[in-house]
Structure 1
Amino acid sequence: MIASHPDTFSTRRTVTIGGRPFVCFDLATAEANGLSGLSRLPFSLKVLAENLLRHEDGRSVTADDLRALAAWGETRGRAAREIAYRPARVLMQDFTGVPAVVDLAAMRDAVVALGGSPDQINPQIPVDLVVDHSVVVDYFGNASALSRNVAREYEQNQERYTFLKWGQKAFRDFRVVPPGTGICHQVNLEYLARVVWTRESADGTVVTYPDTCVGTDSHTTMVGGLGVLGWGVGGIEAEAAMLGQPVSMLIPEVIGFRLSGRLREGVTSTDLVLTVTQMLRKKGVVGKFVEFFGPGLSALGLADRATIGNMAPEYGATCGFFPVDAVTLDYLRLSGRSDEQVALVEAYTRAQGLFRDETTADPLFTDTLELDLTEVEPSLAGPKRPEGRVALGSVPVVFDAALAGEYRKPGEAGRRWKVEGTDFDLGHGDVVIAAVTSCTNTSNPSVLVAAGLLARKARERGLRTKPWVKTSLAPGSQVVAAYLKSSGLQDDLDALGFQIVGFGCTTCIGNSGPLDPAISRTIAENGIVASAVLSGNRNFEGRISPDVQANWLASPPLVVAHALAGSTRIDLTREPLGMGADGKPVFLSDIWPSTAEIDAVIAKHVTGALFREKYAEVFAGDERWRAVEVTGGETYAWDDASTYVRNPPYFEGMTRSPPAISDVKGARILALLGDKITTDHISPAGSIKPTSPAGRYLLAHGVEPRDFNQYGTRRGNHEVMIRGTFANIRIKNAMVRDEAGAIVEGGFTVHQPSGERVAIYDAARRYADEGVPLVVFAGVEYGNGSSRDWAAKGTRLLGVKAVVARSYERIHRSNLVGMGVLPLQFEDGTGWETLGLTGAETVSIGGLTALAPRAKLTLDIVRADGSRIVVPVTARIDTADELDYFRNGGILPAVLRHLVDARGDAR
């Protein structure tokens, strides 16, 4: 980890901590030796400064890079400067991890074909993959739900798990945390993260440095609550980092978020994070760091901080960062970290000026905003955006307004329909899914215990959940299950139908499983706008369940409360949840637990012993995991009959030199999309319908519908994933309209010039056969949401050469470049709507042979009547490294060519 350089600013020194010598790269020495200004940087940028000092080599990191970072206080990040950042490690979950390992396996084949050795393709930094995205809530509401869901998980995913165990055996520095352990971000917070990292260098010295990571899931930012700088990247970018390539980035702006006061009685950390998310979305922090400071930090527990850090993707920031302080050290002790590690963290961060206490001066920031914690109120967010915070009492009003407007059902608010074979009916706004799930909140004992206590009080009053509600509890780690059991609260949750259904993300990523068929039919046949309430971080359209249109984010106790009420058209601040056993109404205020009650349970039952016990054998897995057999050597034996793991086509016909870039001529438009198209809209996710292109493919390969599994679990098969790209049931392509002129939902387009309406995949295949390139047009914040690498991979494999949008979300723009797709941005005030595009046009893009970062290009658009318009755009290839990736056809071909020289010899 020590860079081979002359140490320009003479910062390398040996320090003794706990009687052991460590080499560190000292920020104070760097400042004294010429990097004036480091001490006033935000804590997050001090971490970047150390990273650059440690890797200065005169090529990828230069003295000028360091001077630019030190001078950040003068520009506050507004002067664009590219730097090369090298994270300490990589975190993956299995949905994104499987295709990443598939790519690495394919790269081994490719490097052999180019004359290299398969051993060249190995992680150069530690990689941990946590299997947490595969469990589906097929069974719920009974004591056997967990065991049956786990059995079904292994039945459907055996091939994927065999492949992952091969990867663990074949690749160095690659570990797999087996299914049933927990959610990757919570496992990272509770166990994997060290805050301060150490590694032995080639000369035998032990180097110490800040723990940093990138992850193949956007909520990697959760670990920012622990003082670890981390954020989500695409799988392809993570693979490059694993192979020793730096993450190319611009020195960011840093928004300071000052917190003061403390939360009032009855207000949860979930209410706080929904408020923060709304404020920061309004502020506009895309591509920026957000760092929290102020006296209010001392009033927030570590889990509260992690909750806020977790939702950085929802408020649009690269990361949400909290500096290390006494609260951090207390959490490290609680979560079972060794005394030696805690001592190292404190000594190192204090020595480097990375430790915060009450006397610490506020850093410099690009800009600031402030929140008095006493002003936070109980809230939900919905019905389809995480930033759509709604005060608890206003939820019915907001839902009814959306019903009349967004869902176009005016006057239907009170209508209800009988559910066949039951003794109940169903109406708009009824809660059909209530799920305590997601890394955002299951990492926080205060809200989990609150949910359990609320369930206990409801049970005592004789309340029951409504019969149309599908209830579930998916803890983020086994530690959660342990303290809920030891406190007796799990019994109370069980009594209300919140039995544990699995350890994983479940409902928050769309693994909610099917509703009761009679309920599903009633919703579909009558166009009912049903609600889901979940303690998650994402509530985008079509994400949670194909049967549910209105999705609401809430704290775990409010999830339980809505399961009792059964509707989002009830004002829980004024109306009763139901009638108690004594025949009297029971209000939410009657059963809401006090802070003192919550704290008493936590103090007694959330202990360091639990963490140490549950993580003692974290990589061993249960008997099912241990029984998975592994075969194969350095290269993977691909099975051409597999419908889960296939050799991808990214390296087919690859030569040692990249082909010349050519202009795009006569491209057809595949889609005209609106604002805030998320990666959920683009990337395949959720269930696979038999009538869809992906479903037809699986049926043709002998897979029965009950074994389709879901798109996420089939990310290792590009044939399935291409067919599911842009196939979301809620996506709206303005090229496809009904007789009244309204846009039709679903993954369809119009093939030109035939005018035939077909599935987007089918159109793309026809265009490919015709030799016609494709472009996609979109609005603002294109690629919002999860860092789904298949949103970019699928786009590339469909034949899309360029995306033209008004603005991009950070990760997706980077992913497009990483797959060799050109992201273009309209000038302010221009969009495909203002240009009057219909989708019948052809588009040409010139100037690509002399492409440069942020180059000004033009679109030459020819309408169906032959008229022509020329539109200026900016190429959103932001850095020289990104340009290199694009010229190579993507980041992975670029890495391969760098690994193998022109003679085919290994470098």
Structure 2
Amino acid sequence: MTVTVGHDSSKTRKTLSAGGASVAYYSIPAAEAAGLGEFAKLPAALKVVLENMLRFEDGKTVTVDDIKAFSDWGKMGGKNPREIAYRPARVLMQDFTGVPAVVDLAAMRDGILGLGGNAQKINPLNPVDLVIDHSVMIDEFGTPRAFQANVDREYERNMERYVFLKWGQKAFNNFRVVPPGTGICHQVNLEYLAQTVWTDKDQNGEEVAYPDTLVGTDSHTTMVNGLAVLGWGVGGIEAEAAMLGQPVSMLIPEVVGFKLTGTMMEGTTATDLVLKVVQMLRKHGVVNKFVEFYGEGLDHLPLADRATIANMAPEYGATCGFFPIDNETLRYLRGTGRDEARIALVEAYAKANGMWRDESYDPVYTSTLHLDMGTIVPAISGPKRPQDYLPLTDAKASFAKEMEASFKRPQGVEVPVEGEDYTMSSGKVVIASITSCTNTSNPYVLIGAGLVARKARALGLNRKPWVKTSLAPGSQVVSEYLNAAGLQEDLDAVGFNLVGYGCTTCIGNSGPLQPEISKAINEGDLVATAVLSGNRNFEGRISPDVRANYLASPPLVVAYALAGDMNIDLTTEPLGTSKDGKPVFLKDIWPTNKEIADLVHEVVTREAFQKKYADVFKGDEKWQAVETTDSETYDWPATSTYIQNPPYFKGMAKTPGTISNISGARVLALLGDMITTDHISPAGSFKATTPAGKYLTERQVPVSEFNSYGARRGNHEVMMRGTFANIRIKNEMLDGVEGGYTKGPDGEQTSIFDASMAYQAAGTPLVIFGGIEYGAGSSRDWAAKGTALLGVKAVIAESFERIHRSNLVGMGVIPFEFTGGDTRKTLGLKGDEVVSIDGLEGDLKPLSLVPCTITYADGSVKTIQIKCRIDTEIEIEYVEHGGVLHYVLRDLAKA
């Protein structure tokens, strides 16, 4: 890999010696000395971006004025929203979002041939790591054979995708695949891939050191900010552009400083801390902003806890939650098996370039918050959003209120379960999952969960029989230390057997409930609950049978599995009865902080990390046996229901078009506030009666082989049919109807897919109206791709989530925001209106106000001003080309 650097007109390139070697680097103090501005008081997170400007300054994409703008940022109180071109060092993908990205790359190879270009021009220019971690599903649980059975089933379901990914690994340069059964992308990144300071040779053959940075196709890419690696989630569309050498267009962000002081109290966990942080930052408002953590409290915060907080940045709404380099960073790098020379370089580089945190670290921030960690109490969040923070003492009462206020169902309805000696009722915990992502990189909470299981087992407690329990660690190292401590045996005894190394419950891969339990829940219209140690608990995400989802620490997940019911106050009521007939309370099985820390120190070793990551790309026998071809273009199997050549580049002209006004559009959906990408993008399982189910049934795929939407992201035919098909989405054009329905051209209720096809056949453009934070949640590229394929030309909402707005633009769909207090409600929209948007043709500027004319069904007309959320000049070009990939493809075809 060669890193291309700029002209360095201000001579900021210097030499640094560390670890027995000398490397070049771009010096921020040298930029100050050259008169480019004052940078010493910038937050470390922003200095990483500034270094990027110094290294790539070429007078065109990055100018000296871009560099000076960072000095102005500090002088203007932490604000200077100048557009800059930022180039991350690498790209990280998981397989759900990675497969369609590789599909697009393969399609671009076909497309460039159609434009007269060379297929070999289509290669990642930046290193790309794809970790297969989202495909395992919990079919089997609670038995010693659960892991192997789930892995076997994973290969059966996904062989077409794995053959394709192996082809990609062979066909593309700079593209590595971490095989199934290794771990989740975030934890593999944290424990192995990330270097904190990256090195590469430049075009002159000199070794250059620079901050490790990345973008990832999963919103929780932010976890690695705990290791002082600047990274955040982008849609697959943005990631593809980044790996093809396009800079990420962004505004210099505001940076919110979050000061941590004090130490954690006995009995509290990193999860309790992060749930409080999420609540505070959501209330403060940090969308599109960096958050940087500082203060003396960091001296007492292990890196695993920092990574837990950094992971949840999407939940508090920030671009990232960054922790500067300090002694704890070095300790973690050493403890996870990194090379000693690299650790020496990280320390020397951070100190030389003003990125080191010590007791004197006190930068300028846009705004600040403060939290004394000594005030943290055990907590959970739910039942629908990560920011719905609940002290554990309030959990039972809160659920009772939710039953009345949100779910509008009576308590106390009991439904017998066929063949079992128990009944189902609202509040019963049917899923208790220690699931990967937020917490499984954290040995303190994993060891804590194991100790809870050990103490419960000793007293004779077990999970309640209606609870589906699972343990899906983020890497094989977790199993290594749980086995070394003898705790896996204790977890097994209460039902938390290993089910796989991958992202499971958090993304709806929790697998089916026992059919009899599912039947009882649905017959009684009950509010079943799930408790998971993940980061997402939106409606309809975890399981179609579960309405209330709660985020909790792994030890509390075990406790709730033992109790089996949200209607129990874990702080005052017994979880169960011991083998000698005595009530057992949470305090009886909760380990002390010292017990946990002593065991972590004993079993979490550098050798364990080195052993498990020695052959990380090799894979097991199953992966090694996957066969594929060596062709430079992909031979798209016509019969595949997993991988299909998308239509984006078919018939593409050599030159771009122009942006046109939108005339005579009809409304496809009228949506409310917080419509997440979970609502929009196909995710989880689906039934035979859905458009996607019908498509597969027509191709003789049995329901048992449907797999999930996520696994079929490489087939646009399935995915466009599943867009806006979430079972809990509410289209306000229809009264009291849940699911992916709308009114077709004839005014009758139909599926959103069928209505779209009918409108497109008639040549009618479509628009969608939304509320606040449209597109919140995960960075799902199919939320934008599906929207575009359904013929939607514009989305008009009160506000947008950062990644989804960018993804819409990347697919040529224009986002607009209401202005002047207008909303879908104040305008009295019903969905039967005709919409026209003018002012788009000609010299459209970023963030322009344009007129939107609404013609109501009764013939009355109203014209309002809406803001075009094409935010930058380069985004104007993307839309003119029809999308960012079209822009890149035409550019490469010319080269």
Sort the TM-score into its range (normalised by shorter chain).
over 0.9
- Residue 866 of structure 1 aligns to a residue whose secondary structure is coil
Specify the code of the residue in structure 2 equivalent to 1:104.
L
CA deviations 1:415-438 (Å, max 9, x no partner) are 222111100011111100000002
Kept in 2: contact 1:18–1:340 (CA 8 A): yes
| Match for residue 732 of structure 2 among 734, 742, 745 | 734
- In the other structure, the counterpart of 2:384 is 384
Kept in 2: contact 1:77–1:251 (CA 8 A): no
CA distance in 2 between counterparts of 1:22 and 1:275 reads 42
- In the other structure, the counterpart of 1:322 is 323
Q: Percent identity?
A: 62
- Residue 864 of structure 1 aligns to a residue whose secondary structure is coil
- Residue 317 of structure 1 aligns to a residue whose secondary structure is coil
| Match for residue 894 of structure 1 among 884, 887, 894 | 887
Pair 718,861 (structure 1): closer, same or farther in 2 beyond 3 Å: same
CA distance in 2 between counterparts of 1:72 and 1:799 reads 41
1:301-700 aligned at under 5 Å gives the runs 301-360=302-361, 362-409=362-409, 412-700=410-698
Following TM superposition, by how much is the alpha carbon of 1:4 offset from its aligned partner in structure 2, in angstroms? 5.8
- Residue 732 of structure 1 aligns to a residue whose secondary structure is coil
Following TM superposition, by how much is the alpha carbon of 1:14 offset from its aligned partner in structure 2, in angstroms? 2.1
Following TM superposition, by how much is the alpha carbon of 1:34 offset from its aligned partner in structure 2, in angstroms? 1.2
- Residue 125 of structure 2 aligns to a residue whose secondary structure is coil
1:43-192 aligned at under 5 Å gives the runs 43-192=44-193
Following TM superposition, by how much is the alpha carbon of 1:571 offset from its aligned partner in structure 2, in angstroms? 0.6
CA distance in 2 between counterparts of 1:569 and 1:745 reads 27
Confirm whether residue 794 of structure 1 aligns to residue 786 of structure 2.
yes
CA deviations 1:231-252 (Å, max 9, x no partner) are 0001011011101110000000
Kept in 2: contact 1:438–1:537 (CA 8 A): no
Please, which moves more after superposition, 68-77 or 819-828?
A: 68-77
Q: Which runs of 4+ in 1 moved over 3 A?
A: 1-6, 76-79
- Residue 685 of structure 2 aligns to a residue whose secondary structure is coil
CA deviations 1:575-615 (Å, max 9, x no partner) are 01011111111000111000010011111100000000000
- In the other structure, the counterpart of 1:885 is 878
CA distance in 1 between counterparts of 2:258 and 2:701 reads 51
Following TM superposition, by how much is the alpha carbon of 1:33 offset from its aligned partner in structure 2, in angstroms? 0.8
Following TM superposition, by how much is the alpha carbon of 1:887 offset from its aligned partner in structure 2, in angstroms? 1.0
- In the alignment, structure 2 segments of 5+ residues that lack a partner are none
CA distance in 2 between counterparts of 1:70 and 1:791 reads 37
- In the other structure, the counterpart of 2:743 is 750
Q: With the length of structure 1 as denominator, give the TM-score of the two structures.
A: 0.98
Q: With the length of structure 2 as denominator, give the TM-score of the two structures.
A: 0.99
Following TM superposition, by how much is the alpha carbon of 1:825 offset from its aligned partner in structure 2, in angstroms? 0.3
| Match for residue 816 of structure 2 among 821, 824, 837 | 824
1:823-902 aligned at under 5 Å gives the runs 823-850=815-842, 851-901=844-894
CA distance in 1 between counterparts of 2:102 and 2:7 reads 36
CA deviations 1:474-502 (Å, max 9, x no partner) are 01100001110111000000000100000
- In the other structure, the counterpart of 2:777 is 785
CA deviations 1:77-128 (Å, max 9, x no partner) are 5332100000000000000000000000000111111111111111111100
CA deviations 1:121-172 (Å, max 9, x no partner) are 1111110000000000000010110000000000000010010011000011
CA distance in 1 between counterparts of 2:82 and 2:880 reads 21
Following TM superposition, by how much is the alpha carbon of 1:7 offset from its aligned partner in structure 2, in angstroms? 1.6
Following TM superposition, by how much is the alpha carbon of 1:858 offset from its aligned partner in structure 2, in angstroms? 1.5
- In the other structure, the counterpart of 1:243 is 244
CA distance in 2 between counterparts of 1:670 and 1:255 reads 38
Confirm whether residue 769 of structure 1 aligns to residue 767 of structure 2.
no
CA distance in 1 between counterparts of 2:537 and 2:760 reads 35
- In the other structure, the counterpart of 2:32 is 31
- In the other structure, the counterpart of 1:719 is 717
Kept in 2: contact 1:3–1:56 (CA 8 A): no
- Residue 435 of structure 1 aligns to a residue whose secondary structure is strand
CA distance in 2 between counterparts of 1:101 and 1:457 reads 47
- Residue 671 of structure 1 aligns to a residue whose secondary structure is strand
Please, which moves more after superposition, 27-36 or 256-265?
A: 27-36
Pair 828,419 (structure 1): closer, same or farther in 2 beyond 3 Å: farther
CA distance in 2 between counterparts of 1:438 and 1:389 reads 21
- In the other structure, the counterpart of 1:278 is 279
CA distance in 1 between counterparts of 2:620 and 2:128 reads 21
Kept in 1: contact 2:272–2:377 (CA 8 A): yes
CA deviations 1:355-385 (Å, max 9, x no partner) are 111232x110000011010111111000000
Confirm whether residue 213 of structure 1 aligns to residue 211 of structure 2.
no
Supply the RMSD in Å over aligned alpha carbons.
0.9
Kept in 1: contact 2:3–2:201 (CA 8 A): no
Kept in 1: contact 2:222–2:311 (CA 8 A): yes
Following TM superposition, by how much is the alpha carbon of 1:828 offset from its aligned partner in structure 2, in angstroms? 5.0
Confirm whether residue 261 of structure 1 aligns to residue 262 of structure 2.
yes
Following TM superposition, by how much is the alpha carbon of 1:58 offset from its aligned partner in structure 2, in angstroms? 0.6
Kept in 2: contact 1:76–1:253 (CA 8 A): no
Kept in 2: contact 1:76–1:254 (CA 8 A): no
Please, which moves more after superposition, 350-359 or 867-876?
A: 350-359
- Residue 859 of structure 1 aligns to a residue whose secondary structure is strand
CA distance in 1 between counterparts of 2:374 and 2:78 reads 32
- In the alignment, structure 1 segments of 5+ residues that lack a partner are 738-742, 902-906
CA distance in 2 between counterparts of 1:606 and 1:589 reads 26
Specify the code of the residue in structure 1 equivalent to 2:808.
L
Following TM superposition, by how much is the alpha carbon of 1:837 offset from its aligned partner in structure 2, in angstroms? 0.3
CA deviations 1:838-880 (Å, max 9, x no partner) are 0010100101113210010121000001100011110011111
- In the other structure, the counterpart of 1:740 is none
CA distance in 1 between counterparts of 2:202 and 2:213 reads 18
CA distance in 2 between counterparts of 1:23 and 1:117 reads 35
Specify the code of the residue in structure 2 equivalent to 1:156.
R
CA distance in 2 between counterparts of 1:705 and 1:765 reads 24
- In the other structure, the counterpart of 1:904 is none
Confirm whether residue 815 of structure 1 aligns to residue 813 of structure 2.
no
Kept in 1: contact 2:19–2:340 (CA 8 A): no
Please, which moves more after superposition, 208-217 or 64-73?
A: 64-73
- Residue 255 of structure 1 aligns to a residue whose secondary structure is strand
CA distance in 1 between counterparts of 2:63 and 2:438 reads 38
Aligned residue pairs total 893
- Residue 264 of structure 2 aligns to a residue whose secondary structure is coil
- Residue 775 of structure 1 aligns to a residue whose secondary structure is strand
- Residue 546 of structure 2 aligns to a residue whose secondary structure is coil
Please, which moves more after superposition, 389-398 or 442-451?
A: 389-398
